[in-house]
Amino acid sequence: MARTVIVVIDGFGIGAMPDAGALRPGDLTADTCGHVLDHARTAFGRPLRLPVLGALGLGLVHPHRDLERSTRLPVAAGRAALGYPGADTFAGHQTMMGADFSRVTVARLADHLGEVGDALTAAGHRVERLEGEPLLVVDGAVLVHDNLEADPGINWNASGRLEDLPFDGPGGILAIARTVRAVAPVARVIAVGGHADGPLGAFVRNGDGGTVGLDTPATGFYRNGDLRVRHLGAPLDHTRQLPDLAARAGVPVTLVGKAADILVCDRAERRPAVDTADVLAYTLEAVRAGGDALVVANVQETDLAGHQQDSGRYGQVLEQVDAGLAELLALLAAPGDRLVVTGDHGNDPAIGHAHHTREYVPVLIHRPEGAGVELLPDADSLADVGATAARSLGLPPGGLGAGTPLLEVAMTRPGSPEE
């Protein structure tokens, strides 16, 4: 039996990368993990309770007074550079699954209004500018705009209120986003539908790097329920990513949380969720099903707390995740099982802005048959995480588009090809 579970704590950075200050010089002090831990002592009057993350080796790769500096678990622990420009969830996950995302195109919508507007008009939509701003209003209801949550120019959004237009169907928000995707040079076009606290135009603001867009957290979309999101990525060879590689080898694949929205695998079981309790429950359910398994789960509420600059909430979610990891460890106890805990970028709630931060992320690997603790060298890319998971499943890492395994010793499934 080969079971590998990758838990991505969204926005969980452990210190700034050397180029973190290229866009915002202050980001060179970014340390999502450290700042959240420090805040807890003041806000809660106690350290955060993260015994499992500590036992998995978090304190070995990010020394802190509130993290254990040793562990008795058989773990391999290190940190990874992102391996793609900026700090973005979509690019992070695609890279982690084996895509070469090192050359993401960065573009402001303002520089492409003509071709985007022409494409939408040709598709039968009514298009106008919003009060002279460099964003588009489609059919009087959907805003096409720069994404302000990722680094400038990485993503565009098509956002609408569900009271005004349906998310799916002809003429809906998703259809508009797909038309934009067809001409967009950026890594991701995100269709977003939800319930806002007022007209969307009231929440438009300037972002970094000359971008203009919707302040999505301020709209109320995230807190008002019934949020609909679809991530439309740049063309990729998904057959050379981990989920498809595993599925073609007969390994059942489950994508949980935001991973269900942004990763492509036709044969995967999808369990989308935002609530952390649901993400953990779906992950545990997939493991308890028995047999071979690849589970990729994304805990999104840490990232949302980062965007909201809420260090206390971030810490509470981390404690919730830690409790879920304890249950996963108990289930993934057979030789060859793997629990991998990592991140996709940073999102330091104490840095002074609501954007992602370009940070190293932890790579914490539990391997029940291992002998003691292994400290890993820094990985050049998140793609190394996917390659490591492929090897743990007995799959050829060379079947991925990018990545080098961090561990040489892994269980081989009977009859599986070696690289």
Q: Label residue 24 left, alpha or beta by phi (over 0 means left) and psi (-120 to 50 means alpha).
A: beta
Q: Is residue 410 very low, low, confident or very high in pLDDT (cuts 50, 70, 90)?
A: very low
Rounded distance, CA 156 to CA 318, Å? 29
DSSP E strand stretches across 178-273: 188-194, 204-206, 212-214, 228-233, 253-257, 269-271
Confidence of residue 147 (pLDDT cuts 50, 70, 90): very high
User: Is residue 412 over pLDDT 60?
Assistant: no
pLDDT band per the 50, 70, 90 thresholds, residue 165: very high
Residue pLDDT, tens place only, 327-339: 999 999 999 999 9
Mean pLDDT across the stretch 48-57?
98
Question: What burial letters (b/e) apply to 264-273, b meaning 16+ CB within 10 Å?
Answer: bbeebbebbb
Token pair, residue 321, equals 């995740």
Q: State phi, psi for 236 to the nearest 5 degrees.
A: -135, 155
Using one digit for the tens of pLDDT, what is the confidence trace for 191-216?
A: 999 999 999 999 999 998 899 999 99
Percent of the chain residues past pLDDT 90, beyond the cut: 85
Q: Return the pLDDT at 408.
A: 66
pTM (predicted TM-score):
0.80
pLDDT of 103 reads 66
pLDDT tops 70 at residue 411: no
- In the structure, what pLDDT confidence band is assigned to residue 413 with cuts at 50, 70 and 90? very low
Q: Which residues contact 187 (CB under 8 A, 6 or more apart)?
A: 88, 90, 91, 101, 104, 105, 154, 155, 233, 234
Least confident of 31-35, 183-187, 295-299, 408-412: 408-412
